[in-house]
């Protein structure tokens, strides 16, 4: 049976070269801005913090602590 993820946040485990889906969904939430990031557009994350980021600028801001 195929399950549809609808408008549900996915739960991911971030690795250095990709991520593993632990709970299906169609997006994740940016750890800084709170915006929904569609999984097919997710490019930036922190393995150490296990967080997703909406853009390289947001990721840099988070990692620099500003």
Going from N- to C-terminal start, the domains of the chain cover 11-64
Q: How confident is the model at residue 4 (pLDDT cuts 50, 70, 90)?
A: low
Identify the band that residue 64 occupies on the pLDDT scale cut at 50, 70 and 90.
very high
Confidence label for 3 from pLDDT (cuts 50, 70 and 90): very low
Tens digit of each residue's pLDDT (9 = 90 or more) over 16-61: 999 999 999 999 999 999 999 999 999 999 999 999 999 999 999 9
This prediction has a pTM of 0.85
DSSP string, 3-63: PP-TT-B-EEEE-SS-EEEEE--SEEE-TTT--EEEGGG--EEETTTTEEESSHHHHHHHH
Length of the chain equals 66
């Amino acid at each position: 049976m195929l399950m549809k993820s609808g408008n549900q946040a996915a739960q991911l485990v971030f690795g250095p070269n990709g991520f593993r889906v632990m709970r299906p969904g169609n997006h994740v939430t940016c750890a800084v801005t709170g915006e929904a990031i569609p999984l097919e557009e997710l490019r930036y994350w922190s393995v150490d913090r296990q967080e997703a980021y909406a853009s390289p600028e947001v990721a840099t801001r988070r990692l620099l602590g500003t």
